[in-house]
Amino acid sequence: MLKHRIITAVWLIPVVLGAIFFLPVEFFSWALVAVFLVAAKEWGRIIDKNCNITQWSFTITIGILLAALNLFVPAHDIWFRGHLHPIYLAILIIGAFWWAISSLLVITYPKSASLWQRSHMLKSMFGQLTLIPCFTALVALKGLSSSMSPYYGGALVFLVMLTVWAMDSGAYFAGKALGKHKLMPNVSPAKTIEGLVGGLVTTMVVVALVMLLSPAQELGLIVCVTLFVAMISAIGDLSESMFKRVADIKDSGTILPGHGGVLDRIDSLTAALPIFTLIYIAFWM
């Protein structure tokens, strides 16, 4: 398993970094559609793992919505004079409300599952609220690149990814070494409070990197934003774990050997990216 994880990471990381830094936003947005179609097919299994029609209908719906977003809001219209396109902004705000609701569903699980576990419509809606704001945030951040700063948008995307990776890695190793108190055993039995704290401490590496590269930034603000985004990313992880547990699915897919599915790799990012983008708009635009 570890060998497969390393091999997959060796080829996947350069592809991801190449896309976020070097693909023009108009190509980046369409490449993302393909990635999110795979994630949508995997979410279809959460809706009903035994029904291919349900899975493909959800996938097609997501594909139509993302393609429509790309067509109605072309790359050159995403940002105008420092303002995000109203459609993009509305989607991000809706996404933020969804993650507030999702947090409550996770905290109150398994009682909350009685409200949605038998409803294909609600699980489909939850999938749309999880995937579409994440897609929107990725394209919006990438769209901040310009001829004067061609790597700026990619750097912001990478910063969020680095925060999530630091959170996940720190939580894993701290949990293995020190974990004694379960965080949310009904949702994800392997996660511990010690792991959560370890992950948050590890994200301070990202803070140090930001301050090193941009010392003019306000340290307190960077620390607060990093910790908040890291906490939100943990909600994204727990949320997918909750939905997979109800669906009786261990991994969302098998497309990434050793890692599971695309959804398993982006679960934390689905929460972190929209929230970070809104914070960026509020504090740095």
Name beta bridge partners: 79: 84
CB atoms within 10 A of CB 108: 12
Rounded Cα gap, residues 209 and 175, in angstroms: 24
pLDDT computed for residue 115 by the predictor: 94
> Which pLDDT score is estimated for 1?
54
Distance, CA of 250 to CA of 267 (rounded, Å): 14
| Cα atoms in the 13 Å half-sphere on the side-chain side of 71 | 6
* Residue 144 to residue 160: CA distance in whole angstroms: 14
Per-residue model confidence (pLDDT) at position 3 = 58
Alpha helix positions (H), 143-254: 152-178, 193-202, 204-213, 219-247
Structural domain includes residue 250: yes
How far the first Cα of the chain sits from its last, in Å, is: 43
Look at residue 241 and tell me if it is in a domain. Answer: yes
Q: How far is CA 120 from CA 43, 109, 247, in A?
A: 11, 18, 11
Question: Does the residue 37 lie in any domain?
Answer: yes
What span, in angstroms and rounded, lies between the C-alpha atoms of 50 and 184?
Answer: 28
Residues 228, 216 contacting (CB under 8 angstroms): no
Domain limits at 249?
Answer: 2-75+85-283
Higher local confidence (pLDDT), 225 or 256: 225
pLDDT tens, residue by residue, 226-261? 999 999 999 999 999 999 999 999 888 777 665 678
- pLDDT of amino acid 136: 98
- Half-sphere exposure of residue 113: CA atoms within 13 angstroms, side-chain side: 15
Q: Would you say residue 105 lies in a domain?
A: yes
Residue 80 lies in a domain: no
φ, ψ dihedrals at 192, nearest 5°: -125, 160
Whole-angstrom distance, CA of residue 188 vs CA of residue 240: 10
Mean pLDDT of 166-190: 92
| Residue linked to tokens 């990313």 | 233
Instruction: Please tell me the predicted confidence (pLDDT) of residue 184.
Output: 93
What pLDDT digit, counting tens, does each position of 55-91 carry?
999 999 999 999 999 999 999 999 998 899 999 999 9
Per the structure, the count of domains in the chain is: 1
Distance CA 236, CA 213 (A): 28
Phi, psi of 256 (to 5 degrees): -115, 95
